[in-house]
Amino acid sequence: MKITDIKFAMLRVPLKTPFKTALRTVESIEDIVIMVHTDTGHIGYGEAPATAVITGDTHGSIIEAIDRIMKPKLIGQDIADLNHVVGLIQNGIIRNYSAKAAVEMAVYDLWGQLYDAPLYKMLGGGVPTISTDITISVDYIDKMVTDSLEAIDRGFETLKIKVGKDIGVDIERVKAIYAAVEGKALLRLDANQGWTPKEAVYALHKLEDAGVRLELVEQPVKARDLDGMKFITERVNTPVMADESSFGPREVIELIKMRAADIINIKLMKTGGISNAIKIADICSVYDMQCMIGCMLESSISVSAAAHLAVAKSNVITKIDLDGPSLCAFDPVDGSVKFKDAEISISDAPGLGIKSIQGLEALTPRS
């Protein structure tokens, strides 16, 4: 099975409600989809969102990196030679993590198809059912409480609460939500780099003293402020999770050496794909550090790849934040990974198991 072409498309899917964080507000998914064609007629699918504020990737940069740099190196390559193909993707260009992730997941999709096995089994196997949390966007307190209760009614048992806008209001938001859902759901906080180290310690002490029990707090300070992450981790009882501070294996090793986080959030769009995500999971396993698998605003194409990885690495990926499809107004993918509110289940279809994708708009790269 050899690669013959890579084609591009745009996928647009409206969200049920606007997605609001300390960094941005988004109303729809607008992601680049790639299709890696082969001489056997098999097609591998990948997806990349333009998340410039986090990864630096834009629609234009994703297409250019793949079409001009990766594609020429990949044409004619044999999918069976997986490590070599992955090396060509990773070493041909620096950064461009989401572009690399899209191509890698398409290649891994084909690798599973080549051997007629679902990707999670190719990566080590596991129980093909997991449960995700759901994000509660930052908003007025009453709206966030209502959204939280509605999520519980839909079967979600873990809520990720977006904060980071205003420290005083953030504390009141969390207190109100906790009072409404205590005993019904676990709470995770995500400040999206919105606090200073001292603000984070102040807020978490206030919440802890008020009896609010949080499962974790995610990326409270700026991504590069590892000293700030360490400052918080040493001073609060709530576990601290690194997200934007932990793109690849090297950053994770540094966080572990500094004891600057308790948990690592793995996202394929940060790691540059499945290969580095596996390395991170293995590193954390050595140090007995738990991981979460997360996603950007992505459809069930790329979230399916993350779900396969989560199942295969369930010994270390113990927390699931793959709510992208649940936030969408509809699922454009007919595939083997099913997203039903909190439950994600995977069948034994080969590769990622994607049969078709609705509403793709073909894109032609600039010549």
So what's the pLDDT on residue 241? 98
The band of 213, judged by pLDDT with boundaries at 50, 70 and 90, is: very high
Whether 107 and 137 map to the same domain: the answer is no
pLDDT tens digit sequence for 114-127:
999 999 999 999 99
What Cα–Cα distance (Å) separates residue 247 from each residue in 146, 267, 283, 346, 366?
33, 8, 13, 26, 30
The four Cα atoms 214, 54, 31, 362 give a dihedral, to 10 degrees, of -170
Residue 222 among known ligand-binding residues: no
Percent of the chain with pLDDT strictly greater than 70:
100
CATH code at position 220: 3.20.20.120
* pLDDT of 367 over the 80 cut: no
Residue 142 among known ligand-binding residues: no
Residue 39 among known ligand-binding residues: no
Q: Which tokens hold the place of 80?
A: 């069976």
Residue 135 among known ligand-binding residues: yes
Catalytic residue ranges: 162, 267
So what's the pLDDT on residue 33? 98
Whether 285 and 264 map to the same domain: the answer is yes
The band of 20, judged by pLDDT with boundaries at 50, 70 and 90, is: confident
So what's the pLDDT on residue 173? 97
Question: What's the pTM?
Answer: 0.97
Residue 295 among known ligand-binding residues: yes
pLDDT tens digit sequence for 331-359:
999 999 999 999 999 999 999 999 999 99
pLDDT tens digit sequence for 281-302:
999 999 999 999 999 999 999 9
CA-derived radius of gyration, the chain: 20
The total number of structural domains that make up the chain: 2
Whether 15 and 82 map to the same domain: the answer is yes
250: containing domain? 121-355
The band of 21, judged by pLDDT with boundaries at 50, 70 and 90, is: confident
Average pLDDT over residues 129-146: 96
SS3 assignment, position 81: coil
Whether 109 and 151 map to the same domain: the answer is no
pLDDT tens digit sequence for 261-275:
999 999 999 999 999
Whether 133 and 236 map to the same domain: the answer is yes
Whether 193 and 226 map to the same domain: the answer is yes
Q: Which tokens hold the place of 292?
A: 């979460």
Residue 282 among known ligand-binding residues: no
pLDDT tens digit sequence for 54-106:
999 999 999 999 999 999 999 999 999 999 999 999 999 999 999 999 999 99
So what's the pLDDT on residue 145? 98
Q: Which tokens hold the place of 286?
A: 């050595």
